[in-house]
Homo-oligomer: A and B are copies of this chain.
Amino acid sequence: MDAFFISVEFSKLNMPSYKLIYFPITALAEPIRLLFNYAGIEFEDERFDKEDWPKLKPTMPFGKVPVLEVDGKKVHQSAAISRYLAKQCGLAGKNDWEALEIDSTVDTIHDLRATIAGFHYESNEQAKEEKEKVAKEETVPYYLERLDAQVKKNGGYFIGGAVSWADLTFVGLLDYLNFMMKKDIVEEYENLKQLQKKVEEIPAIKRWMEKRSGAVWP
């Protein structure tokens, strides 16, 4: 019994200390937060005010967030951080081939995000209108149809009939994508809708979503 306690304490002492730094919103940090919760790893969820960003930006590698601080070492890029956490909780695939399929799907989800962000953040009014039209009428449905078919083909998840960090990435990003698209983008896609439901019903994710604060980009 003593030995058991010693081993628990020892493993706690060896757990790195994690701090996630981001705006007080979901968006790019939310897949990471879902993964921390799924993995049962404690982390400090530091959310800074938007007006503090110009002061904080020069302290971040490549001036971008989310940033994860691991024992004080800063690392950025949300997909890279998510993959790192996914490896620690068995969500990164059973073998290298599955890891490849998951990575490919995650990058495709980020391509979909980039398409939507492409018109949302466009500052030139005419270009914004052109991009929004193509995105809404062509590119976004193109991606969603194929992602929906992929989930249907793979037993209700993106890869291998089991939950992976590709699923958590998609569900984590959804309200940000919905916000930019001004609609529920999975509404007409039954398999993606069911996937969202299943992920949100995972007990650790459900608990997190009930207690989390932070709207999407204001």
Contacts and interface: CB of A to CB of B under 8 A. Distances in A.
25 contacts: A62-B142, A62-B143, A62-B146, A63-B142, A70-B97, A75-B100, A75-B101, A76-B104, A77-B103, A77-B107, A79-B103, A79-B107, A80-B100, A81-B100, A81-B104, A83-B99, A83-B100, A84-B96, A84-B97, A84-B99, A88-B96, A124-B124, A124-B126, A124-B130, A126-B126
A99 B77 CA distance: 13
Interface string A46-85: 0000000000000001110000001000011101110110
Given A75-B104, A103-B79, A146-B61, A130 B126 contact: no
B126 A104 contact: no
A97 B70 CA distance: 10
Contacts of A197: none
A183 B61 CA distance: 26
Given A75-B101, A101-B75, A114-B114, A107 B80 contact: yes
Minimum-distance CB pairs A-B, first 9? A80-B103, A127-B127, A124-B127, A77-B104, A80-B104, A84-B100, A77-B107, A75-B104, A87-B96
A108 B77 contact: yes
Nearest to A114: B114
Interface in A118-158: 122-124, 126-127, 130, 142-143, 146
Contacts of A111: 62
Contacts of A97: 70, 84
Given A83-B99, A84-B103, A126-B127, 8 more contacts: A62-B146, A79-B103, A80-B103, A80-B106, A80-B107, A83-B103, A114-B114, A126-B126
A171 to B, nearest CB: 20
A123 B114 contact: no
Contacts of A103: 77, 79-80, 83-84
